[in-house]
Amino acid sequence: MKMRISLTHYLIRSERAHGTDPNLRLLIETVARAVKTISHAVGKGALWGGNEGGVLGSLGSTNVQGETQKKLDVIANEILVEANEWGGHLAGMASEEMDTPVGIPVAYPRGHYLLLFDPLDGSSNVDVNVSIGTIFSVLPAPAGMSEDDDRAFLQPGRNQVCAGYAVYGPQTVLVLTLGHGVVAFTLDRDTGSFVLTQEDIRIPADTKEFAINMSNRRHWAQPVQRYIDECLAGRTGPRGKDFNMRWIASMVAEVHRIMQRGGIFLYPWDKREPDKPGKLRLMYEANPMAMLVEQAGGMATDGRQRILNIEPTQLHQRVSVMLGSRNEVEYVTGLHR
Ligand code: AHM
Ligand code: MG
């Protein structure tokens, strides 16, 4: 019988092969436990919490980004914070749903890592039963930092020691990198364990599939308009091939598709809010996805530079994102130069 490799088994193997810090393993296992709880809540939907009325719908509150918070945004955030505050592996946490970072309560030991997350990505899909996800990033904690100080978190994405996402779709899949390639685990709902189901995920360098919210076309900058026009021109156009399009409105689901069969995903800067560099957030959306994509042989830029090289100035800063199949991202980045 083929041996099933659990997340713990994989992480211990990684410890032996690459000297991964055991504290990082414990941290990832804690995040994975929280992901299971979120997956359970997502699966229950309107049935979750008995008389509390389920996880669907909005709360009426807004987050620091000025976005309406869904019930599940807040529930997923609480699950992640509660799971991670007592383990002793973290010096602080930051989230899309919290204005400022949270420190570790004095009752618990402090560790050497910072955890950043988008607890529930693709919020607009929660109520319509379409794939959503959780994205996370792990940074080293600077020595002597004060844990609720934004500045400790303001490190470029290339400093990440681990990045991952969980996609809550027909299956719950956890995709992870520790800087030695990308692997995926499927949640076995019978045993409650994450089982290794894909090793060494590679994104094909070429693709005929793009993902962009076409309704923003009139707002895009010229290079993005030109790129998509060329894709749409198909076989007789400058690219000499027909393209297919997808738009799920869940970055996690979009990146997961790209991990499986290639493609390019764009959420570029546009003229709707010219002062904002894009819609997606650098620290807990673009950076972890960029690390995963690069580790799978793909490329991630903001149209000008490698996302992982951007020096952040704000915790919730936004960024233009182009990621996926290497040759395609290189091409559209070239159009910006
Ligand atoms: P969220 O973290 O609030 O869910 O927002 C991020 C999401 C991405 O997952 C997705 O790519 C994008 O927003 C969709 O935006 P739009 O509704 O403009 O198409
Ligand atoms: Mg998001």
Q: Which protein residue's CA is at the shortest distance from atom 2 of ligand 1? A: 121
Q: With bands split at pLDDT 50, 70 and 90, how would you rate the model's confidence at 99?
A: very high
Q: What is the pLDDT of residue 62?
A: 78
Residue 63 has pLDDT above 80, yes or no: no
Q: Whose CA is nearest to atom 19 of ligand 1?
A: 249
Three-state DSSP state, 37: helix
Q: Strand 264-267 and strand 280-281: pairing?
A: unpaired
In degrees, to the nearest 5, what angle opens at C-alpha 267 toward C-alphas 224 and 97?
160
Tokens matching residue 204? 């094909």
Q: Which helix (H) or strand (E) holds 265?
A: strand 264-267
Q: Whose CA is nearest to atom 4 of ligand 1?
A: 122
Strand segments (E) across 169-230: 172-177, 182-188, 193-198, 209-211
Contact 92, 104 (CB under 8 A): yes
- pLDDT tens-digit readout, 292-328: 999 999 999 999 999 999 999 999 999 999 999 999 9
**Of the candidates 50, 49, 55, which has an alpha carbon nearest to the alpha carbon of residue 69?**
55
User: Is the CB of residue 15 below 6 angstroms from any atom belonging to ligand 1?
Assistant: no
Looking at residue 68, its pLDDT comes to: 75
Q: Which tokens in the block code for residue 29?
A: 């296992």
Helix intervals (H) in the chain: 7-18, 22-44, 71-84, 150-153, 222-233, 251-261, 287-295, 326-336
CB 67 less than 6 A from any atom of ligand 1:
yes
In whole angstroms, give the CA distance from residue 179 to residue 290: 12
Q: Which ligand is nearest to the CA of 126?
A: 1
User: How far, in Å, is the centroid of ligand 2 from the Cα of 145?
Assistant: 27
Instruction: Please count the CA atoms within 13 angstroms of the CA of 31 that sit on its side-chain side.
Output: 30
Reply yes or no on whether the pLDDT at 243 is more than 80: yes
Q: How far is ligand 2, taken at its centre, from the CA of residue 9, in Å?
A: 30
Regarding the beta carbon of 165 and ligand 1, being less than 6 Å apart is answered no
* pLDDT > 70 fraction of the chain, expressed in percent and rounded: 98
d(CA 140, CA 266): 29
Q: What are phi and psi of 264, to 5 degrees?
A: -130, 140
Cβ of 124 closer than 6 Å to ligand 1, yes or no, is: yes
Please check the confidence at residue 50 and state whether its pLDDT lies above 80. no
Q: Is the CB of 225 under 6 A from ligand 1?
A: no
In angstroms, what CA-CA distances link 69 with 77, 124, 279, 281? 11, 10, 16, 16
Average pLDDT value over all residues in the chain: 94
pLDDT confidence of 147, banded at 50, 70, 90? low
Tokens of 3: 């041996």
Please work out whether the CB of residue 249 comes within 6 Å of at least one atom of ligand 1. Answer: yes
The answer to whether residue 145 scores a pLDDT higher than 90 is no
Distance in angstroms (rounded) separating the CA atoms of residues 184 and 201: 8
- The average pLDDT across 226-244 equals 98
pLDDT at 170 over 80: yes
Question: Does residue 166 sit in helix, strand or coil?
Answer: strand
Mean pLDDT value across residues 72-90: 94
For residue 247, give the ligand nearest its CA: 1
- Selection from 161, 118, 207, 152 nearest residue 14 by Cα: 161
For residue 6, the CA-to-ligand 2 centroid distance in Å is: 27
pLDDT score recorded for residue 59:
79
Rg of the chain in Å (alpha carbons): 19
- On whether the CB atoms of residues 97 and 282 are closer than 8 A, the answer is no
